[in-house]
Amino acid sequence: MLDLKISGGSIVDGTGAAARRGDVGVRGGRVVAVGEVPEAAARTIDATDLVVAPGFIDIHTHYDAQAFWDTTLSPSPLHGVTTVMGGNCGFTIAPLVGVEGGPVRPDDADYLMRMLARVEGMPLESLQQGVPWDWHTSAEYLDRLDGTLMPNAGFLVGHSALRRVVMHDAATERHATADEVKQMQQLLRAGLAAGGMGFSSTWSPSHNDHLGHPVPSRCASREELLALCAVVSEFPGTQLEFIPAVGEFADDTFRLMGAMSAAANRPLNWNLLQVYAQNWELVQHQLAGYDLAAAEGGRVLALTLPDTFRLRLNFTSGFILDILHGWDSLMALPVHEKLRQLRDPAARAEWNRLAQSTEGATRSIANWGGYRILETFSSQWKPYEGRIIGEVALQLGREPWDVLCDLVIADDLRTVIANQDRGQDDATWKRRVEVWRDHRAIVGASDAGAHLDMIDSFSYSTTLLARAVREHQLLPLEEAVHLLTGAPAELYGLHERGRIAPGFCADLQVFDPATVGPGPVAMKFDLPGGAGRVYGEAIGVHHVVVNGVPCVEHGELLPARPGRILRSGSDTHTVSVR
């Protein structure tokens, strides 16, 4: 007898092949039959008029900490995701000790926690109260999570953690010595030997710690990066992920990523390529970097979000705002000092002067009049909620910057402003589909688990199906499912995942193609310490199955935790460059 049978659905198998009507039989966590399946099952799901597809694979998340207080890794499974990859951008919480071993240094653990709160928007009180911090090595971290999660999860080994536990405070001050690089290599080897999925790092100027300093990996030399990438080449089934810069990349940036990929003999995906009809020239420049990287012997892919990267910004965390010239140190100030400076006319003017002196495309972050007042907490400004700051300023006869400052002061910095979503037009969606079909790009970049007060890109999978497939009719459903399942599985070399076929792991979902999409988004105050997060469920995802076990039914998360910690080499095969 089968454990589970999904009957009468339209099977979209993840390869891009045409859908076919049939059944899917599951036993022992694996698909054992596809097509006409007469065998009886302990449980049968009727999928008539619905699509049966592989579970989605999200290769860019930051669930490293949330995994301890929310073992469902919500809301990802509600959107059909059955496998996630964490540890991106160099921001991991393991290892916590250097090669000498011994007890965890409190200042190192505290630094990593506060860094994570600053750069990834995870409330500090949640990290303090919801994470046990009871491991020393990457191996212990992975073991601590194994068998506890709803979806499958793999984790890269992060550069900033390696650097901090080797160099301590000096990690944000200088280049590493040859001996320190060797120690980092040794820790990386240990993490990869334990099943770490690869190596991640960042040089992005948007990544500053809680003190306003560049995060540790930003202080690394090119030679250090290449030395660590060389370690990756020693372990099968591994990957690279990197954020090199913000805005338009220089040729040398692409050459660096090509050299990193060549040193590891592994693909490297970089984050993030945003696509609009209006920035098509920039998109083409970023994709053309593939050839520059190839000349260095590497394979470098742009990770692209299949939607607008909508930002909810606030002056409390200051993330993204700290990209503005001189604002990295300003945004690191404590709340009371930020408020004091915003109240002082001279300091307020200096803040704006610095912001407007920012060069390049990132100067648009300081277009104060273009933001929408998404949420305010004062009776004085509540009537203006939902309006564009520039329009409010015009009505009041004031400058947008001064209006925003007064608003932020009245809210004790809690004001939420949002960029306008200019990426829902037909021309932009057509351009996005062009990029998805380009061999130089891969779909993903949800950032789920991070920037909890700022983004809703956790719904990228259901958004792609709703907007590109159903509403704009720009690509067939079968191709869309492949982009979300088979393609990321192939990039990461995942064994027997990302497709529906006999012998493959039974990571499956059942959704209604007529209604599937993202649901409403709102703040949900369910984090440790009572902190809130931007949260949204899905519409039209009826069932999600992980390793043969039902996990989601009609929008409800079930008690089962059948997810596996995926480990490089045993759960992946090598995708080499050469």
What Å distances lie between residue 401 and 116, 337, 357, 408, 499, CA to CA?
29, 18, 15, 10, 51
Domain presence at residue 262: no
Beta bridge partners of 24: 6, 34
State whether 318 and 409 are in the same domain: yes
Domain presence at residue 13: yes
Domain presence at residue 381: yes
Domain presence at residue 474: no
Helix and strand totals (H; E) in the chain: 18, 23
Residue 10's pLDDT is 98
The whole-angstrom separation of Cα 59 and Cα 492 is 8
Domain presence at residue 173: no
The whole-angstrom separation of Cα 509 and Cα 82 is 9
DSSP for 190-213 reads HHHHTT--EEEEE--TT-B-TTSS
The whole-angstrom separation of Cα 547 and Cα 328 is 44
Both structure tokens of 540: 């039209």
Domain presence at residue 270: no
Domain presence at residue 372: yes
Residue 523's pLDDT is 81
Both structure tokens of 387: 């309006």
Both structure tokens of 93: 């919480």
* 122-126 CB contacts, 8 Å cutoff, 24+ apart: 122/62, 122/65, 122/66, 122/449, 122/450, 122/452, 123/452, 123/453, 123/527, 123/529, 123/531, 125/528, 125/529, 125/530, 125/531, 126/65, 126/69, 126/527, 126/528, 126/529, 126/531
Q: What is the pLDDT of residues 401-416, one digit of tens each?
A: 999 999 999 999 989 9
> Among 418, 439, 460, which residue terminates a domain?
418
Tokens 């030679």 belong to: 223
Nearest CA to 299 among 308, 291, 309?
291
- Residue ranges of the chain with pLDDT lower than 50? none
CATH number, domain containing residue 552:
2.30.40.10
Displacement of CA 533 from its chain's centroid (Å):
15
Residue 151's pLDDT is 99
The whole-angstrom separation of Cα 527 and Cα 59 is 24
Beta bridge partners of 498: none
Both structure tokens of 222: 């090119």
Report how many domains make up the chain: 2
- Which domain does 381 fall in, by range? 312-418
Domain presence at residue 526: yes
> Among 385, 418, 451, which residue terminates a domain?
418
> Among 418, 437, 466, which residue terminates a domain?
418
Bridge-based pairing of strands 268-273 and 300-304 is parallel
